[in-house]
Amino acid sequence: MVNEADSLRSPDRIFDPDPRTPALVRIDSKTGLPRSITPIDQHEAVAWFELNPTVPESVQIHFETAKNIYLYAWCVFRFYPVAEQQAFSTLEFALRERQPEFVKQYAEKHRRNADPGLGALLRNAIKEGLLRNEVFPARNRWAHARALERYRHEQMEKMFAEGLTEMAVDDAGVVASEVDLNYDWLRAFLDAIPYLRNQHAHGSGMLYHTVLHTFDVVTQIINQLYPAPVNPEGNDG
């Protein structure tokens, strides 16, 4: 029997938070104390992911749908993986729209006239230079996050090795290395994105709320496929 948290809502509970939502917290900027996230927090977390005005409206609508699903995950926790799945679908749609000639040629070569999947679309976009590591605006931010993750893992291993139950960690001085800065993100995305999308598409019991990195990556890739116009002064328009 499905538990109450995952069952169809009764009309009087449509806008209530999911029972698991109060466990997600923010640090209050005024008090310095943790508090449960609010609908405003939920909206702010996803609202800043914006596609360039050059992205086709049909793709924009797909992405706004993913953002709305994320927003309403405040009410229904299981919307988080659905939001991630919709974000991956948006990426596939954008790649297909951006490469019509490749889609046509792929279908003509396929014995059943099938369209290319997400992996093939992403691989061709990389091959044709539509996507390049050095163009991602978030590259330095991603490199720093990678360095932070490695540092925290190292501190955790040190704590376990020394038999400590707690440990003060100061990561303010963590700096991305050359390896981090030159990391091949496109290769990583090519390996991970089709796999994760398929996990959702074919049914999965996975449940997690940490899907905003996917929104970040999808935004960065689509915006590179459809670059923003540049004004005569050379600044982004």
Could you tell me the two tokens for 50?
Answer: 């914006």
* CA proximity to 212, closest of 37, 55, 83: 83
What confidence score (pLDDT) does residue 202 get?
85
Of the listed ranges 72-76, 88-92, 123-127, 171-175, the least confidently predicted one is 171-175
Of the listed ranges 121-135, 147-161, 213-227, the least confidently predicted one is 147-161
Q: Kindly state the average pLDDT of the residues 156-177.
A: 88
Indicate the domain borders of the chain: 36-225
pLDDT at 170 over 90: no
Report the DSSP beta bridge partners of residue 36: 25
What confidence score (pLDDT) does residue 176 get?
94
Q: How many CA atoms lie within 13 A of 61 on its CB side?
A: 3
pLDDT at 7 over 90: yes
CB of 118 closer than 8 Å to CB of 194: yes
Share of the chain above pLDDT 90, in %: 76
pLDDT at 237 over 60: no
Query: How confident is the model over 11-58, as pLDDT tens digits?
Result: 999 999 999 999 999 988 889 899 999 999 999 999 999 999 999 999
What confidence score (pLDDT) does residue 222 get?
98
Mean pLDDT of the chain: 93
Return the biggest CA–CA distance within the chain.
64
What confidence score (pLDDT) does residue 235 get?
53
- Write down the residue that tokens 């074919």 correspond to: 202
DSSP secondary structure of 89-110: HHHHHHHHHH-HHHHHHHHHHS
DSSP secondary structure of the chain: ---GGGSPPPGGGTTSPPTTGGGSEEE-TTT--EEE--HHHHHHHHHT----TTS-HHHHHHHHHHHHHHHHTTT-TTHHHHHHHHHHHHHHHHHHHH-HHHHHHHHHHSTT-PPP-HHHHHHHHHHTTSS-GGG-TTHHHHHHHHHHHHHHHHHHHHHHHTT-S------TT----HHHHT--HHHHHHHHHHHHHHHHHT------S--HHHHHHHHHHHHHHSPPPB-TTSSB-
pTM: 0.90
Could you tell me the two tokens for 49?
Answer: 């992911």
Angle subtended at Cα 47 by Cα 194 and Cα 188, rounded to the nearest 5 degrees? 25
Q: Kindly state the average pLDDT of the residues 204-208.
A: 85
pLDDT at 229 over 90: no
pLDDT at 103 over 60: yes
